[in-house]
Chain A
């Protein structure tokens, strides 16, 4: 037993899990509002991180300005995607919508490789201090900042859905589109807004990961890791998404620990969440907090 390693991995799991939670939240946001399963969520992270990297290195902008421009760009990006690609597919069968988002995913992943190359590129340093000591463990400042950012986004979401007008409109649309429409909510606007917000929030997560690990196409794998998280939490529960994300983050790090200590199979870090995913789907497909679908003929 290597307690220090276990502690370190648990901490890593919490931090990465919080990021998964953020991405899962923005995934659930789109699903809840417009019933679209977005297989291109990871590409949102990728595009956001690359755009921010481009502003910071090619344009030499200070971090706050580049970050702000990135968010504005991602908002427009999400809006355009929804209006151009997803809007014509409203009312089409599930498979068409899934395939459209998969197509988007391939397209943007290849486009990013074309523009920025296949190699990981580091962000310019943002924090003066590289590492800090917390509870006797060496923690990178960026990790702490990322945890802070994740918590901030989660709190922001909480406020948005509880108190703001647009958030309430979104919840109403998710509950029943016709009722929402009859009360004066513009459903197309809500759909577009959900995509814009989701793109922005994912981009924040993408930038955070990019600052920690450098930007590369590996970022889009976050979009796939989202599935274990959202299925575990329940597809239409924001709270479930956060919790699912943290659990998946912990799970993969603990799987890595068990593997490195005893099993030595290798690659458990990547695969363990998918085994968990299959198990959950077989036992409790609606997850911890998801609403159970009742179908009538």
Chain B
């Protein structure tokens, strides 16, 4: 294994083509990055940590959506509903059956995956725009179900839940919950990266690239489309469960269509079909409202602020910024942050002979 990728394509063997870490440096970089992240609670305050935790569980769910949209080419406008399902299942299992919270999180992921498979089976017949509309309908139906199912979600009042506990050690502070989220992020992202190296992962990509050709090569379309829906729901469920036990309260109204659109925004801004891009997109989507807030705070008291009522309408401003970011990325950077990151890396690798 070399330290840098040599010029030209030197992937001579099958193993070299499917490796996760193309160079020794990339593996070292990942380990160093993880070690640095582990030190984060020592350096950062509560606010920064809570942002990082948010990026973590949203990134997991966004990765699931990226497997569905970016790798399999199936559009879903109902991801937030599955995210919410995971949150409610986990909270419900803990309260009703007193399952330990640490166990609740993976179980919630599996239950959501099964429900995702049920929803995905009919969706396997649909694609493109028809699927987008069907999942839009699923979003509204599930949202309605959340509001209606008092026994499950607590209805309008929402559902309280508790922090995870491991051997008497409670993950009830941002510092400790950060490590839990980080562990899940590492496991889920490694899982996705490995899935894409496997036979099933390649089948998903083939379905995206040309579904008729894929079918002719013996790939079972219905099976892989359903499977992809199930995997996406698994990720959404785990992300949602992490969300539930972090906020300790799950409200019925949280999982609306706007949230679903934000997930799609993360995937598009991060880069369709890029595992790390999902995390970058989630980070971007989490930071965007914060940056908007900082901008508004900077202008507070000035003439612009008084004329536009920035302070009072900051929530609308945030929504507008999300919409604008999605449109601008689609027009100017359709391959997302992942491509920008590759360009930056290539620039520094070749510096100063970049041309």
**Interface: B327 (CB within 8 A):** yes
- Nearest CB of chain B from residue A231's CB, rounded to whole Å: 6
List the A side residues contacting B268 at CB < 8 Å. 95-96, 99
Cβ-defined contact, A102 with B317, below 8 A: no
Where chain A touches its partner, the secondary structure class is helix
Chain B residues 306-343 with CB under 8 Å of chain A are 309, 313, 316-320, 322-327, 330-331, 334
Given the contacts A89-B331, A106-B258, A278 and B130 also touching, CB distance less than 8 Å:
no
CB <8 Å contact, B319 and A271:
no
Min distance, Cβ A256 to any Cβ of chain B, angstroms: 14
Shortest B238–chain A CB gap in Å is 24
Query: Do the beta carbons of A95 and B75 come within 8 Å of each other?
Result: yes
Among A10-18, A109-117, A122-130, A239-247, the one that faces the other chain is A109-117
Cβ of A104 < 8 Å from any Cβ of B? yes
A106 with B322: CB separation less than 8 A: yes
For residue B61, give the distance in angstroms from its CB to the closest CB of chain A.
17
Contact status A103-B140, CB under 8 Å: no
Which residue of chain B is the closest to A276 with respect to CB atoms? Answer: B137
The complex places the Cα of A94 from the Cα of B213 at a distance, in Å, of: 19
Q: Nearest CB to that of A275 among chain B residues?
A: B141
Answer whether A89 and B330 are a contact pair too, CB < 8 Å, given A99-B268, A270-B144: yes
Pairwise interchain contact A282-B125, C-beta atoms closer than 8 A: yes
Taking a contact as CB atoms under 8 Å apart, the answer to whether A114 and B317 are in contact is yes
A297→B133 contact, CB < 8 A: no
A105 at the B interface (CB under 8 A): yes
- Tell me, yes or no, whether A277 is within 8 Å of chain B by CB: yes
Q: Which residues of A contact B309 (CB under 8 A)?
A: 114
B40 at the interface (CB under 8 A from A): no
Let me know if A274 and B141 touch, CB within 8 A.
yes
> Are A114 and B320 interface neighbours, CB within 8 A?
yes
Q: Give the distance to chain B from A28, nearest Cβ to Cβ, in Å.
A: 13
B145's nearest neighbour on chain A, judged by CB, is: A271
Is B129's beta carbon under 8 Å from chain A?
A: yes
Contact A107 B330 (CB under 8 A): no
Q: A-facing mask of B113-143, CB < 8 A → 1, else 0?
A: 0000000001001101110111011101100
With A and B bound together, what is the CA distance between A295 and B15 in angstroms?
36
Q: Which residues of A contact B144 (CB under 8 A)?
A: 267, 270-271
B317→A103 contact, CB < 8 A: no
Q: Is the CB of A100 within 8 A of B136?
A: no
**Interface status of A72 (Cβ within 8 A of chain B):** no
Residue B134 contacts which of A111, A265, A267, A281 (CB distance < 8 angstroms)?
Answer: A281
Is B331 a contact partner of A107 (Cβ separation < 8 A)?
Answer: no
A265 surroundings in chain B (CB, below 8 A): 148
Contact in complex: A277, B133 (CB < 8 Å): yes
Contact across chains for A94 and B129 when beta carbons are under 8 A apart? yes
Please determine whether B126 and A281 come into contact, CB atoms closer than 8 angstroms: yes
Please tell me if B261 contacts chain A, counting CB pairs below 8 Å.
Answer: yes
The minimal Cβ–Cβ distance linking A196 to chain B, given in whole angstroms, is 19
Chain A residues within 8 Å of B137, by CB: 227-228, 274-275, 277-278, 281
A139 in the interface (beta carbon within 8 A): no
A224 to B78 alpha-carbon distance, docked (Å): 14
Q: Given known contacts A98-B132, A106-B322, A271-B140, what 11 new A-B pairs fall within 8 Å (CB)?
A: A37-B132, A94-B129, A95-B268, A100-B331, A103-B323, A107-B323, A111-B316, A114-B313, A231-B133, A267-B144, A278-B134
Instruction: List residues of B whose CB falls within 8 A of some A CB.
Output: 69, 73, 75, 77, 122, 125-126, 128-130, 132-134, 136-138, 140-141, 144, 147-148, 210, 212-213, 216, 258, 261, 264-265, 268, 272, 309, 313, 316-320, 322-327, 330-331, 334
